């Protein structure tokens, strides 16, 4: 075996073993595995919705003759106040929630992460400016900031994701900045600088890879909280608008009819609870799996 | 100590101005004409223009913003663009509802979560611990407006014990308070449990037990005092979230609080009222953060010493 080939194999083996070690730790946490399974089921259901239903006809159009039917063989979760199958709307609602939640969290991670990197690595005046702005944004509760931003935008999925993303940027800025500060003056960073590595290489390859754990955990938790905020905004009428199915606006539509029709609020509520729960469990599981202190 | 608090209070001034700037800017960029909304469909273009000028909406953004800030620091929240009356009037009328709700929710959460967290830590890996953990994860994940609806179904519709919406005597606050408390209960319980677990294994607890301190005293006198700080931090940090969450809870229970006022005003493009609500929330969050920081000093003498050092050096 040539030397280059040997290094290649060694590299591959090492990479795999690190990931499999994390997976091994993650698997030990039963609650986290439960969360992962639930999430996969929800994603699978959301992806395969078109096989069973027609989006426009079943999830959006009115069907007054069949309104407010209790759960039966034909409609497993019953029909809502407009006569639409609740299960069908739940599944299409999952698409909206996951899409907006993941996009918002990713946007916040990218923007907040970049700002945190710049502030943490370079320090000085730039850092000071970024942190002051972050302080101000943190003194406005995220949900209220998102509501205010939504008032300036049209209520579409894109703007909803943007508003919920912007309101979470400051959290990521803080986390990324503090993780960078904790390793910035380590010897291996000084060494990398001494051999003339570029700043971008040092930040991306040496620093970020070493403080991935808290950022990843926060990302998983962020998706959960973003989905919660999507539904809250839709519930108070500042998010996804009817007839587009969303768990939040399904609950607000059902609010007037709950007397005698309690099944109306069970489905969307349980869907929200399970989805957010699964992200929280996965986040907790990742935290334990990635924490080097717990490794034996 | 006093110096430290004063410094923090002074720091709130630029934060408030920045909050006003952000919210005012967002509202300024919001499409739609508040005056046309206020005057209705029959208003003539001349009347609309006149009213716009009278309210000062035609002025450029920076002038409007500066005027607002100058007035705000004289205690004037401006005039509502929708009702034409003082913003302060409606704002101060709705503040009590939100404050009662938030503080009672926080109180319920704290008196339930700290014993629960301690119990879960003391009886680690027993059914008690598991039940507390499941409750906590559900509390973090359940949307508060849904919890509110479920409570209404159970206590107002099924058993008809409590009024389902509106404010009519103190019984109307029970369900909103429980809803609010449930959410916060979870995060405080989790923190209390993990910090308690850490402290229970500390050397000084072992020393205390070796000296013959009873198990009860070691847990509740020696350990709890040290383990309670992270729980209070989390409660403080969550105060803002709790206040923001009151928007949804006030909607569910039809409570005329600050959250409701803000949502209604946003829909009407009533900028002065929206900014007023936001300023109130931001100030409350800053003040609570300060109170939490000062609370540490009472609980932990080490932190008190630090504040005094910092305050004295500058």
For residue B214, the distance in angstroms to the closest alpha carbon of chain A comes to 31
The answer as to whether A143 is a domain residue is: yes
Count of domains in chain A? 1
Q: Which residues of B touch A237 (CB under 8 A)?
A: 263, 267
State whether A141 and B243 contact (CB < 8 Å). Answer: yes
CA distance B186 to B268: 36
B interface toward A at CB cutoff 8 Å?
A: 15, 18-19, 22-23, 26-27, 29-31, 137-138, 140-146, 149-150, 152-153, 157, 240-241, 243-245, 247-248, 251-252, 262-263, 266-267, 269, 274, 278, 281-282, 285-286
CATH of the domain at A242: 1.10.3720.10
Q: Which among B230, B168, B164, B165 is positioned nearest to B197, based on CA atoms? A: B230
CB contact under 8 A, A272 and B22: no
Nearest chain A Cα to B251, which residue? Answer: A236
Rounded distance, CA A179 to CA A210, Å?
9
- Cα B188 versus chain centre, distance: 15
The count of C-alpha atoms lying within 13 angstroms of the C-alpha of A238, restricted to the half-sphere facing its C-beta, is: 30
Q: How far apart are the first and last CA of chain B?
A: 12
Report yes or no on A25 lying in a domain: no
ipTM: 0.84
Q: Which residues of A touch B243 (CB under 8 A)?
A: 141
Shortest CA gap B22–chain A (Å): 9
Q: How far away is chain A from the Cα of B200, in angstroms, using its nearest Cα?
A: 18
On whether the CB atoms of residues B205 and B218 are closer than 8 A, the answer is: yes
A-chain residues within 8 Å CB-CB of B247? 143-144, 147, 232, 236
- Domain edges within chain B: 11-72, 88-267
Would you list which residues of chain A are within 8 Å, Cβ to Cβ, of chain B?
31, 133, 135-145, 147-149, 151-152, 224, 228, 231-232, 235-238, 248, 251, 255, 258-259, 262, 265, 268-269, 272-273, 276-277, 280-281
Chain B's closest residue to A252, CA to CA, is B252
Q: Do A238 and B274 lie within an 8 Å CB cutoff?
A: no
Q: Is residue A47 part of a domain?
A: yes
Enumerate residue ranges in chain A where pLDDT < 50: 295-296
Options 3.30.1330.10, 1.20.1290.10, 1.25.40.10, 1.10.3720.10; CATH for B88-267 is 1.10.3720.10
Full domain range(s) for residue A113 = 42-58+77-177+212-294
Q: How far apart are CA B41 and CA B38, in angstroms?
A: 9
Rounded CA-CA distance A231/A246 in Å is 7
Distance from CA of A130 to the nearest CA of B (A): 14
**Whole-angstrom distance, CA of residue B133 vs CA of residue B123:** 12
pLDDT at residue A169, rounded to an integer: 94
Give which of B125, B111, B127, B100 is closest to B185, Cα–Cα. Answer: B111
**Rounded to whole angstroms, how far apart are CA atoms B15 and B9?**
10
pLDDT less than 70: residues of chain B: 310-314
């Amino acid at each position: 075996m040539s030397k280059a080939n040997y290094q290649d194999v060694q590299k591959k083996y090492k990479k795999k073993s690190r990931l499999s070690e994390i997976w091994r730790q993650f698997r030990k946490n039963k609650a986290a595995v439960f969360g992962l399974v639930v999430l996969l089921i929800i994603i699978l259901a959301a992806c395969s919705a078109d096989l069973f239903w027609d989006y426009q006809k079943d999830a959006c159009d009115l069907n007054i003759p069949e309104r407010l039917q209790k759960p039966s063989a034909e409609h497993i979760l019953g029909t809502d106040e407009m006569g639409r199958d609740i299960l069908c709307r739940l599944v299409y609602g999952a698409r909206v929630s996951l899409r907006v939640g993941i996009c918002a969290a990713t946007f916040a991670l990218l923007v907040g992460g970049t700002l945190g990197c710049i502030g943490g690595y370079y320090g000085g005046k730039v850092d000071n400016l970024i942190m002051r702005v972050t302080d101000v944004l943190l003194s406005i509760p995220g949900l209220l900031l998102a509501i205010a931003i939504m008032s300036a935008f049209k209520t579409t999925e894109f703007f909803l994701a943007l508003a919920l993303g912007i309101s979470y940027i400051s959290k990521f800025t803080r986390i990324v900045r503090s993780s960078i500060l904790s390793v910035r003056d380590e010897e291996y960073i000084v060494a990398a600088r001494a051999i003339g590595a570029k700043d971008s290489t040092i930040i991306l390859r040496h620093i970020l890879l070493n403080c991935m754990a808290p950022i990843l955990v926060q990302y998983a938790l962020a998706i959960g909280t973003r989905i919660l905020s999507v539904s809250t905004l839709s519930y108070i009428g500042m998010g996804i608008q009817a007839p587009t199915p969303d768990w939040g606006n399904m609950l607000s539509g059902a609010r007037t009819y709950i007397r005698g029709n309690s099944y109306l609020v069970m489905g969307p509520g349980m869907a929200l609870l399970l989805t957010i729960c699964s992200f929280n469990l996965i986040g907790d599981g990742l935290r334990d799996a990635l924490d080097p202190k717990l490794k034996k | 100590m006093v110096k430290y608090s004063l410094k923090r209070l002074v720091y709130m001034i630029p934060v408030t101005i920045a909050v006003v700037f952000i919210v005012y800017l967002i509202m300024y960029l919001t499409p739609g004409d508040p005056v046309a909304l206020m005057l209705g469909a029959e208003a003539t273009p001349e009347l609309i223009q006149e009213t716009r000028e009278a309210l000062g909406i035609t002025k450029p953004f920076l002038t409007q913003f500066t005027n607002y800030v100058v007035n705000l620091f004289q205690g004037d929240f401006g005039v509502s663009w929708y009702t034409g009356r003082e913003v302060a009037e409606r704002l101060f009328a709705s503040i009590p509802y939100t404050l009662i709700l938030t503080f009672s929710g926080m109180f319920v959460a704290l008196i339930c979560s700290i014993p629960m967290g301690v119990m879960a830590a003391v009886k680690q890996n027993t059914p008690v611990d598991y039940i507390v953990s499941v409750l906590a994860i559900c509390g973090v994940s359940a949307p508060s407006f849904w919890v509110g609806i479920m409570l209404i179904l159970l206590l107002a519709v099924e058993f008809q014990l409590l009024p389902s919406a509106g404010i009519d005597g103190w019984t109307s606050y029970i369900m909103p308070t429980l809803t609010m408390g449930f959410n916060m209960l979870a995060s405080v319980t989790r923190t209390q449990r993990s910090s308690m677990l850490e402290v229970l294994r500390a050397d000084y607890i072992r020393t205390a037990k070796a000296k013959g301190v009873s198990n009860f005293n070691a847990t509740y006198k020696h350990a709890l005092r040290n383990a309670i700080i992270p729980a209070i931090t989390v409660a403080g940090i969550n105060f803002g979230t709790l206040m923001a969450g009151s928007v949804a809870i006030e909607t569910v229970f039809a409570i005329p609080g600050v959250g409701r006022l803000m949502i209604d005003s946003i829909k009407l493009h009533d900028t002065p009222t929206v900014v007023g609500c936001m300023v109130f929330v931001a100030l409350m969050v800053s003040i609570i953060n300060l109170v939490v920081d000062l609370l540490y000093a009472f609980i932990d003498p080490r932190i008190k010493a630090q504040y005094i050092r910092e305050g004295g050096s500058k």
